[in-house]
Chain A
Amino acid sequence: MTARTAARRRGTTPRRLPTIKTAVIAATAYIIALVFLLPYAEMIITALRPQRELLERNYLPHHFAWSNLTNMWGGGFGITTSLRVSLEVAGGATVLVLLVSLPAAYYTARHRFRGRNLFLLIVLVTQMLQPTALIVGIYKEFLSFHLIDTVWALIMVNAGFNLAFAIWILNAYVGSIPVELEEAAMVDGSSRLSTLWRVTLPLAMPGVVTALIFTFIAAWNEFIAALTLTTSNNVTPLTVRLDMFIGQYTVDWQHLFGASVVATIPVLILFALIERRVVGGLTAGSIK
């Protein structure tokens, strides 16, 4: 019996008790959030250490070298180029995934056809693999397509390795939309394609957004395929560029950590914008 129920029985509702419980919950949540952010705070602090204080035994350096964060934008570092390339790759992969997975998911959700289970199974299996093991074969392939050292190669690889999840989420979402809604629209004279666009898609939007964010993050942080398939400076994404800070004799920790904080920001912005949608998106996908 909670205090609140007891109070209600007594006929009075004390105003402070629920707040204490909420306060405890809030405090716990704040502490946990802090713990989650601590490593990244350390990243920023390390990025701001001047060279002579790099290995000092303290939480905060005596001086903050703000120039470490500003001088990495210079032409020599190529961070801005890589930022652009990463955006192109992640954005392109996301768009490609959505374009390709929507029809496939829609069809498997609405039709029962021979080979349907095989298709979904193969899709499932590809979710289980990572580029690391397959990288030599991937290189050989793109070599024959003459796509080595292009942004398109990275877009295709990232799209291919994230397609499975997108198909599944969209499959579930479209499946949960009552078919009657579409039938009603078609009876009213709209074509199948325009029904898909005007009726199904808006209702499936949480799933679309979920697939979008997952693919974007995966493509944004992908490293091994980017390393193998790119050679020139103007097509290296951020993950590969950051790796350059690990040299043969030293590691440029400040720039490495500073640049990786910068690399996280676009993802965080994207996430903040659609956080609510993600939670909604995962719901329909998992609970069936």
Chain B
Amino acid sequence: MKKRLTLGVAIGSAALLALAGCGSSKSSTSTTTLAFFGADYGTGPANSTTKYWDAIASAFHQANPGITVKVQTVDWTDFPNKVQTLVQNKQFPDVLEGDTAPQFAQSHLLYPASDVLSPGVLGNLIPTFLKDGQYQGTDYGIPFTTSTRALYYNKKIFAAAGISSPPQTWAQLQSDAAAIKAKGYIGYGMPLGSEEAQAEALLWFLGNGGGYVNSSGAYTINSAQNVQTLRFMSKLASAGDTQPSPGTTDRKDVWAQFAQGKIGMVLGSPAVIPIIQAAGVLKTSDYATANVPGKNAPLASTLGVHDDIVAFNTGKHAAAIRKFLDFVYQDKYQLQFDNEYDLLPATQSAAATMEKNLMFAAFLKNIPNSVNYPSKTNWTTVENQIKTTLGQAISSNPQKILNSIQHTAASGG
């Protein structure tokens, strides 16, 4: 009896101690959970971006046990829809990677960048991309990964067609493409399908001194220069110098065909390189990059794109987000991401390190004077219309289509 009593007391007190221990550890630190929602840059479950973020999240948690980051990624095609569903249901993440800031900032949903980044990290960001994520003069969008475009050309096809150097003007591009077509290849790959028509179009518009906005920032989509540019592109297509039906061809298909050695020239970002390597058809010496041709001279400023991180103020986790983002923007993580997906970094220090890699150097040097998409709040709407309808300008009236897009752009504001 006594033994049982002693045993009972022992067990009881052990239990009490255990409970007390649990209780005390719980009350000493409060755990914050951050919800992270990002885009998937991979091409399959094997190189999904979830792995990248999961690794950062667990390393961060080890360094900061009081903060847990829950990671969720969605592939790019479904990304806008998923974000829309979340926002409509007021299920805001704390950190969102992959979208642009102005619209969220307009709805007062975001922390300014200075609230969620240490000054050192903020100052390390590449200025031209940071400026692009401003709304009413305050930084909201924090560039995470960037990219610029150049002209890729197939040196083997060029040799077969008797072309000695890459084209610098539109006229040269036209004659080169015709020569390549005569040899049985596709001259120039022009993707104006709904995947990314706005990028291809802008690179052409810039070549003629046009663009989406003028120097004071007002929309000038239906300018005379842009119409002229589209007429030229249409001529190229109808002469057969491009792949058939540019208005419905996507960038993915054109890049894949270039990687398989079927196309002579294509505009692309560094991401084309791993596609070429995976295809195994072209050797490194078989292709090269050059500046994007313009009407009378190569482009002085090419298209620069960036995917931003924005921090939502709905969860009121500013301090935790700041710790997390400072952690994320370390050089090693920037470089890891950019090497994995062949994109460019958003921080100056990482860019400096990457310049040592010859393949990226050509793209990196174009960053400082690159042109970005307009950072207006209705740009998403305008962009969607460009993606859907611009391809038609190849086969029908460009003025009418550009007028319609300009109308949407001007009325939104």
Contacts and interface: CB of A to CB of B under 8 A. Distances in A.
Chains A and B touch each other in the complex, with CB atoms below 8 Å apart = yes
Interface of A: 51-52, 54-55, 74, 76-79, 135-136, 139-140, 143, 227-228, 231-233, 241, 243-252, 255
Given A136-B89, A251-B43, 13 more contacts: A52-B279, A52-B280, A136-B84, A227-B82, A228-B81, A228-B85, A245-B43, A245-B44, A248-B43, A248-B271, A250-B275, A252-B44, A255-B44
Contact of B75 (A140, A231, A248): A248
22 contacts: A52-B279, A52-B280, A55-B260, A77-B44, A78-B45, A135-B85, A136-B85, A136-B89, A140-B89, A228-B82, A231-B72, A233-B45, A246-B75, A247-B75, A248-B40, A248-B41, A249-B271, A249-B272, A249-B275, A250-B275, A251-B43, A255-B44
B92 interface: no
B257 interface: yes
Contact of B280 (A51, A233, A244): A51
Nearest to B41: A248
Contacts of A136: 84-85, 88-89
A227 B256 contact: no
B49 to A, nearest CB: 10
A139 B85 contact: yes
A248 B76 contact: yes
Contacts of B89: 136, 139-140, 143
Contacts of B408: none
A231 B81 CA distance: 14
A131 B239 CA distance: 45
Q: Chain B contact residues (Cβ within 8 angstroms of A): what range?
A: 35 or more
B46 interface: yes
Contacts of B46: 74, 76-77
Contact of B43 (A76, A232, A247): A247
Contacts of B43: 245-252
A27 B161 CA distance: 51
B336 interface: no
A76 B252 contact: no
Contacts of B257: 55
Contacts of B76: 247-248
Interface string B200-218: 0000000000000000000
Interface in B61-92: 72, 75-78, 81-82, 84-85, 88-89, 91
Contacts of A245: 43-44
B18 interface: no
Contact of B41 (A135, A228, A247, A255): A247
A247 B42 contact: yes
B380 interface: no
